[in-house]
Amino acid sequence: MSMDAENSNIVVIGGVACGPKAASRARRRDPHANITLIERGKELSYAGCGLPYYVGGAVSDISNLRKTTFDVIRDEQYFRSVKNIDVQLQTEAVNINRANRTIAARSIATGIIKEILYDQLVLAMGSTPFIPPIEGISQKGVYCLHVPEDAVQIREKIEKGEADRAVIIGAGLIGLELVESFFNHAVDVTVLELADAVLPSCLDPDMAEFLKNEVVREGVEIYTGQRIIRIDMEDGTARVVTQDRSFPADMVIVAAGNRPNVGLAREAGLRIGETGAISVNLRMQTSDPNIYAGGDCVECCDLVSGRMIYAPLGSTANKHGRIIGDNITGGCEEFGGVVGTMIFKVLNLTVAKTGLTEQDARACGFRVATSLTPCLDHVHFYPGGKFLMIKIIAEQESGRFLGAQIIGPGDAAKRVDVLAAALQNQMTLRDIANLDLGYSPPYSHAMECVIQAANHARNRIDGLAHVMNADQVQQKLLQEDLLLLDVREQKEAESNPIFCEAVKNIPLTSLRYRLDEIPKNKPIVCCCAQGTRSYEACLILQANHFDSVYYLDGGLRIWRSFFRDKKECYS
């Protein structure tokens, strides 16, 4: 690389998301800097989050993941001609000499090592898939989905008709996204997860169980609590062996999460954070002020809990890159942190989460109140409304909003974004309930879904009614005499019954006139389709001196999902 003594020398290591963004932003701010971008892979600046959609066929050509909005591929020539950035592909940084401000870069093709001088260095080295220590996991026929080449190999195998059955190891975000990819090709899918629930780092057990059963209903096999012992391979067919059974497969996908690439930073003596990722300050500087880092190799501050977390997302990586590009060219931008927002699609469902889960909030020392709110994504009288289940987590004393999870075929995207903004601005449930959100029958409710959910949680905090979740009701049914009071209309109850001896149907519309049919000597749990009528029923019973009255949190939709295999409690 030719050097100009008057110009700054900027070297960026990593060419997928954060690195190209940092280099591009730096060029926009400084037209004269010498900028070098080093990437160990064959391709750069691709949308890694689009890989499952290429496998599934929604993205027809893998090169589309590297194209600009004006249909030009972001390759080396593009970065040189448009941005005047020197791109060196298949080149690996092997050493950082902080004293001399140089890096040693080795060509993967030739093995030749050269030194490159930097004034400002950017580490955007991303992450690496975690490969569990399972016997046979390195055999041919076992794949990861991390780079475009992986996606091409998986899709080619499917299109050749060589993969009728697939086993996915890991029920995290990538694993569940791949479920849809295989479904699109009529490949039978089995998902194996070590934890006791799907998406264990993102969802609480109640929402995870709801999601699992909604996906299983579509024909996917999901087994949680599965410790994989080995993978046997014979004549191109795999057999994934767990502690209690085995699963045949033509293809095995490992989707067990990622780990930050920190080896180069650690060897250079840079500070590694408590999460195992690189520690950076608000300006994205490492412990060496001349070295910046961003993307999937760094840790972030969780703005809700104040803890440092590892949250590898393309959206965060691009924000990091822009801030770094500013700061290495004289700017003074800061990145405060994240609230842990994620969203993805699996089959006909959207799964979204922001903030703390209930489990995380309790682990952080919060006394929490929660609510489950089933709803349609727009008013019932306008056709085409789709279902959503919204879980809200808040602080009991203050009503401070702490987090939310949303699952369903409805429009979860705009709801989770509203709630993410509420978290970032430290809003309470009362603040959310008073948001001035758009209302029109094709799009929303007069009391928007997130407002309904916030008010539902406020009722819990204010003690206006008491709830039991599905698991608590099941335990009560086993331990004591309990009445399930079904307050749906008689036609609803008859067409979609609950097979349980403890059920009695008295519609809400006639409840006030039939109170003498309800015993006062046993706990009563009111239930209905979505929870609204059962809440009303609770208030009526409480006003008439029924002492032990509750309503089913989340309504019968979550009840039926939670006890899908329990015939006595599910129609």
Q: What is the DSSP letter of 33?
A: -
Residues 299, 245 within the same domain: no
Q: Which of 428, 462, 496 is the last residue of a domain?
A: 462
pLDDT at residue 498 in the model: 83
Closest to 346 in 3D by CA, of 175, 180, 221, 219: 180
CATH number reported for the structural domain that contains residue 438 in this entry: 3.30.390.30
Residues 353, 457 within the same domain: yes
- Say what the alpha-carbon torsion angle 308, 295, 391, 474 is, to the nearest 10 degrees: -80
Let me know: does 407 contact 207? Beta carbons within 8 Å.
yes
- The Cα–Cα gap between 95 and 265 comes to 9
Residues 285, 315 within the same domain: yes
Residue 342 lies in a domain: no
CATH number reported for the structural domain that contains residue 15 in this entry: 3.50.50.60
CATH number reported for the structural domain that contains residue 563 in this entry: 3.40.250.10
Residues 423, 410 within the same domain: yes
Residue 340 lies in a domain: no
Domain count of the chain?
4
Taking CA atoms, 49 is separated from 164, 211, 434, 568, in Å, by 25, 21, 35, 42
Q: Which of 462, 486, 507 is the last residue of a domain?
A: 462
Residues 98, 172 within the same domain: no
Give phi and psi for 399, each to the nearest 5.
75, 10
- The Cβ of residue 225 has, within 10 Å, a number of other Cβ atoms equal to 13
Residues 458, 471 within the same domain: no
For strands 258-260 and 113-117, give the pairing: unpaired
Residue 333 lies in a domain: no
Residues 436, 520 within the same domain: no
538 noted as active-site residue:
no
Residue 341 lies in a domain: no
Q: How many CA atoms lie within 13 A of 429 on its CB side?
A: 28
Closest to 191 in 3D by CA, of 129, 253, 280: 253
Residues 116, 263 within the same domain: yes
Q: What is the DSSP letter of 294?
A: -
Closest to 226 in 3D by CA, of 203, 201, 195: 195
The residue from 18, 49, 301, 332 that is catalytic is 49
Residues 222, 312 within the same domain: no
| Residues of the domain holding 389 | 348-462
Residues 46, 87 within the same domain: yes
301 Cβ contact list (under 8 Å, min separation 6): 307, 308, 309, 336, 337, 338
Residues 252, 264 within the same domain: no
pLDDT at residue 244 in the model: 87
Residue 535 lies in a domain: yes
Q: Which of 234, 256, 278 is the last residue of a domain?
A: 256
Amino acid in position 253: I
Q: Is the dihedral of CA 154, 159, 163, 166 positive or negative?
A: positive
In this prediction the pTM is 0.93
Question: pLDDT in tens for each of the 571 residues of the chain?
Answer: 334 447 899 999 999 999 999 999 999 999 999 999 999 999 999 999 999 999 999 999 999 999 999 999 999 999 999 999 999 999 999 999 999 999 999 999 999 999 999 999 999 999 999 999 999 999 998 999 999 999 999 999 999 999 999 999 999 999 999 999 999 999 999 999 999 999 999 999 999 999 999 999 999 999 999 999 999 998 889 999 999 899 999 999 999 999 999 999 999 999 999 999 999 999 999 999 999 999 999 999 999 999 999 999 999 999 999 999 999 999 999 999 999 999 999 999 999 999 999 999 999 999 999 999 999 999 999 999 999 999 999 999 999 999 999 999 999 999 999 999 999 999 999 999 999 999 999 999 999 999 999 999 999 999 887 888 888 888 888 777 889 999 999 999 998 888 788 899 999 999 999 999 999 888 999 999 888 899 999 999 999 999 899 999 888 877 766 554 444 443 3
Residue 501, class by beta-carbon neighbours within 10 Å (0-12 exposed, 13-18 middle, 19+ buried)? Answer: exposed
Closest to 528 in 3D by CA, of 547, 501, 507: 507
Residue 146 lies in a domain: yes
Residue 306 lies in a domain: yes
> Could you identify the residue written with the tokens 């490992």?
254
Residues 533, 555 within the same domain: yes
Residue 482 lies in a domain: yes
Let me know: does 503 contact 490? Beta carbons within 8 Å.
no
